[in-house]
Amino acid sequence: MAYVISKDECIQCGACESECPEGAISLEGEFYVIDESKCKDCANCVDVCPTSSISQK
């Protein structure tokens, strides 16, 4: 299952984007999003998120 970023909790720090080895995370407008087709469930993004705003879908 892919991960998703909660728009309500995300502070747009960008820590998750640089940790994704698949390049699945990008800034779209004001929010970071995870491309489900690229996400390989490694959880690197979850480990670095300071607000715990990333969870499995």
Using pLDDT thresholds of 50, 70 and 90, give the confidence band for residue 21.
very high
The reported pTM is: 0.91
Q: Domain holding 31: CATH number?
A: 3.30.70.20
Which DSSP string do the residues of 3-53 spell out, in sequence order?
A: EEE-TTT-----HHHHH-TT--EEEETTEEEE-TTT-----HHHHH-TT--
Range(s) of the domain holding residue 47: 3-56
State the sign of the Cα–Cα–Cα–Cα dihedral 34, 35, 38, 39: positive
Say whether pLDDT at 1 is over 90: no
**What is the tally of structural domains in the chain?**
1
